């Protein structure tokens, strides 16, 4: 019994010691927990105090910024008010100046209107004077035109006389040429029995004489042709029968175009702006040949009516016939240097013009003119 009680007491002692140790450990743990909690509370208090300090500093800085901005706004407001007052004063001054300028311009316009009215009256008087002077000048111009027409008629007569003289000189030179040729042939025939050196000298002398004669004749013909070319022009028929002269005018226009193409479009490098149209040239050549047939018809005149015996129609018929033949002569002179062309379309155009000049009707028309017969156009 006693042992059991002793064991119980010992066990109770052990249990008490264990409970005491457990309580001590729990107390220590509680103390540590309390210390940690106190440390955390103190840190939190410090952080809160620091945040309060920072917030106070931020509020103070914001208040300073607000005050500074407010002062700047007040200063800007004062400056804007001053500028506005200055601009208002300037605008008032400008308005006053504009009003003064408007009044001045109104006065100037009034003065200008009065001056314009005065100038208009002066211009009207000047216009009347100019009209009178113009009428006088027109009358004088008409007189000068009449005198110029008379001089033109005189010059035409002089040119005709010069052409006749040149033709006569050419005929004389041709006769002289024939005579020189005959003399040269006679001398050559007479010198056949001479020595070879003498015969050669005679032949050379004869050939030189012939060459000089040919050159002289060609020069006279060339000068006559050049003079005719310088004065070559197309006559304009009087308006009384202009509607009846279409055939000869078409033929003259065709000859003029053919001559222009040959002299300008095909001379040297040619004019690139002038198109060498073979179809057009065929049409022009056909018009010339048709009129040549018409020209050799004794029953028709320049106007397509019976041959005129005098007056303006006869004068125009003669002038148109001379121009027709002069154009043919000029075209023949121009086309000769172009006969060596072998490229298209130059070669075709040269062939067309050469064929036109060789046409029997064209040859007959030129022959009639050379004989000076009174033909029709």
Token pair recorded at residue 80: 């804007």
Instruction: Please write the tens of the pLDDT for every residue from 101-130.
Output: 878 888 888 888 788 788 778 878 876 886
Residue 96 has pLDDT above 70, yes or no: yes
Is residue 61's pLDDT more than 80?
yes
| 198's tokens | 């003498």
19-51 pLDDT, tens digit per residue, is: 889 989 988 998 899 888 888 888 888 888 888
Is the separation of the CB atoms in 329 and 376 below 8 Å? Answer: no
Mean pLDDT in residue range 1-10: 84
Q: Which two tokens stand for residue 226?
A: 């050049």
pLDDT digits (tens, 9 = 90+) for 173-187: 667 767 766 776 766
What's the CA gap between 296 and 274, in Å, rounded? 33
Please, which contacts does 307-312 make with residues 24 or more away whose CB atoms are closer than 8 Å? 307/374, 307/376, 312/238, 312/240, 312/241
What CA–CA distance (Å, rounded) separates 153 from 148?
9
Q: How many helices (H) and strands (E) does the chain have?
A: 7, 0
CB neighbour list of residue 203: distance below 8 Å, 6 or more residues apart: 188, 191
**Stronger pLDDT, 245 or 195, i.e. the higher one:** 245
| 373 has a pLDDT exceeding 50 | no
CB < 8 Å & 24+ apart, contacts of 147-154: none
Q: What is the pLDDT of residue 220?
A: 54
pLDDT bucket at 354, cuts 50 / 70 / 90: very high
The DSSP string of 229-278 is HHT-------GGGGGG-HHHHHHHHHHHHHHHIIIIISSTT--TTS---H
Q: Give the pLDDT mean for 215-230.
A: 55
Question: Which residue has better confidence, 322 or 307?
Answer: 322
Distances (CA, A) of 352 to 180, 272, 325, 329, 359: 38, 21, 18, 16, 10
Would you say the pTM of this structure is higher than 0.75?
Answer: no
């Amino acid at each position: 019994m006693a042992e059991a009680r002793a064991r119980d007491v010992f066990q109770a002692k052990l249990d008490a010691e264990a409970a005491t140790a457990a309580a001590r450990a729990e107390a220590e743990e509680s103390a540590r927990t309390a210390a940690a909690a106190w440390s955390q509370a103190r840190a939190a208090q410090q952080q809160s105090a620091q945040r309060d300090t920072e917030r106070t500093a931020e509020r103070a800085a914001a208040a300073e910024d607000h005050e500074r901005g407010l002062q700047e706004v007040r200063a800007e407001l004062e400056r804007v008010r001053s500028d506005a007052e200055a601009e208002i004063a300037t605008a008032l001054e400008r308005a006053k100046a504009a009003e003064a300028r408007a009044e001045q311009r109104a006065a100037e316009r009034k003065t200008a209107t009065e001056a314009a009215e005065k100038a208009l009256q002066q211009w009207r008087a000047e216009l009347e004077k100019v009209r009178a002077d113009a009428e006088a000048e027109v009358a004088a111009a008409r007189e000068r035109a009449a005198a110029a027409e008379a001089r033109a008629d005189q010059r035409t007569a002089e040119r005709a006389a010069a052409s006749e003289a040149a033709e006569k000189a050419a005929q004389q030179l041709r006769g002289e040429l024939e005579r020189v040729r005959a003399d040269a042939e006679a001398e050559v025939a007479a010198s056949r029995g001479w020595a070879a050196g003498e015969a050669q000298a005679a032949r050379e002398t004869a050939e030189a004489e012939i060459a000089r004669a040919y050159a002289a004749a060609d020069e006279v013909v060339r000068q006559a042709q050049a003079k005719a070319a310088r004065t070559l022009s197309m006559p304009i028929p009087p308006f009384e029968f202009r509607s009846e002269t279409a055939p000869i005018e078409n033929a003259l226009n065709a000859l003029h175009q053919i001559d222009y193409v040959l002299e300008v479009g095909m001379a040297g490098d040619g004019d690139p702006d002038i198109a060498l149209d073979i179809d057009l040239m065929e049409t022009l050549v056909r018009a010339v040949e048709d009129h040549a047939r018409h020209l050799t018809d004794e029953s028709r005149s320049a106007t397509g009516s019976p041959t005129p015996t005098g007056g303006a129609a006869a004068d125009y018929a003669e002038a148109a016939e001379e121009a027709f033949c002069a154009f043919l002569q000029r075209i023949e002179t121009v086309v000769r240097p172009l006969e060596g062309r072998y490229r298209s379309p130059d070669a075709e155009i040269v062939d067309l013009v050469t064929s036109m000049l060789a046409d029997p009707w064209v040859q007959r028309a030129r022959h009639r003119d050379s004989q000076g017969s009174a033909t029709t156009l």
